[in-house]
Amino acid sequence: MEKSYPIIAKEGWLFLAIAFFASTLLTYIQNPLSWIAWTVTLFILQFFRDPLRTKPSKKNVILSAADGKVIAIEKMTNPYTNKSSVKVSVFMNVFNVHSNKCPVDGKILEKYYYPGKFLNAALSKASLENERCAITIQTKEKKTITCVQIAGLIARRILCYKDKGDEVKAGERYGFIKFGSRVDLYLPTNASIKVNLGQTVKNTETIIAEI
């Protein structure tokens, strides 16, 4: 986990500043719309929250890269490495934390970005048709995990701060998706899955699988 970072994600500072200024101004001039402005400000505040998380001490695990609900666990070919894999998908609604964390320690072998559609991220076809950014990480045990940020119906901005060749740590903040989205993890076929369909998970804290 990173040594420190703001509890409100930096991606939200501008939005929050504008909303707070507008809310304060409307309140000062006693505009009846001020309560709507403050409601929007509170929504922005909760959306861009990025609480510190403590990762498990257990070794050889794959951590959740996102907060949300597990909507898919299925065997399929990893479209980025062309290897047989198990895909675990987590859907984030607008009330989830949208900061993304690295699922394992390792080195980024490849980074892929694909422009695409903005379908409902809960749909299966969103994995291959929506705008997305994927990083493939190789662990020191030579295990390969692909982590894919996927835009959604409302989400239109994927931010990934890591590049090919970067060393990463499990629980390290590596990206953010603005306003509702999905993260897919492609895992080795021998990974022991530790979550169930419909389960609510948290980035860094929830163990998705053991390898």
Q: Which residues are catalytic?
A: 181
- Looking up tokens 């048709």, which residue turns up? 129
- Cα–Cα distance, 163 to 108 (Å, whole number): 7
Q: In what order do the strands lie in the sheet with 192-193?
A: 61-63, 207-210, 192-193
| 118 three-class SS | coil
Which residue type, as a one-letter code, is found at position 156?
A: R
Please name the residue ranges forming H helices in 98-208: 126-129
- Cα–Cα distance, 92 to 70 (Å, whole number): 9
Which residue type, as a one-letter code, is found at position 40?
A: V
